[in-house]
Amino acid sequence: MAVLIDTPVWPWRGRRWSHLVSDTDYAELHAFVAAHLGIPRRAFQGDHYDVPEELYDVAVGAGAEPVGARELLRRLMAAGLRVKKRRDPAAR
């Protein structure tokens, strides 16, 4: 029963990002984001939120558990909450 966040190392558009997930259910994740981070629900990426590095300390301060990327993925998969990306048939 935890909201997990990995280290903000993922580059995109000149910023570094973390992934924020729940190892319980999506409702817990949405409630945490709404209560503490102000990231809109439309930013949900199917099984996680991308969190800019400037909100990392806010998330941890609010109770998100800092973990490595592999641990985050392992726990997300163990909870059955991992959503695999669809392959683009045009990219083949």
Boundaries of every domain in the chain? 3-84
Given a cut of 60, whether residue 92 has pLDDT beyond it is no
CB atoms within 10 A of CB 58: 13
Given a cut of 90, whether residue 51 has pLDDT beyond it is yes
Query: Model confidence at 64, in pLDDT bands (50, 70, 90)?
Result: very high
Higher per-residue pLDDT: 88 or 67: 67
- Tell me the average pLDDT across 17-31: 96
- State pTM to two decimals: 0.87
CB atoms within 10 A of CB 16: 14
Contact by Cβ (8 Å): 41, 34 = yes
Q: Give the three-class secondary structure for 65.
A: strand
Query: Model confidence at 30, in pLDDT bands (50, 70, 90)?
Result: very high
Contact by Cβ (8 Å): 21, 48 = yes
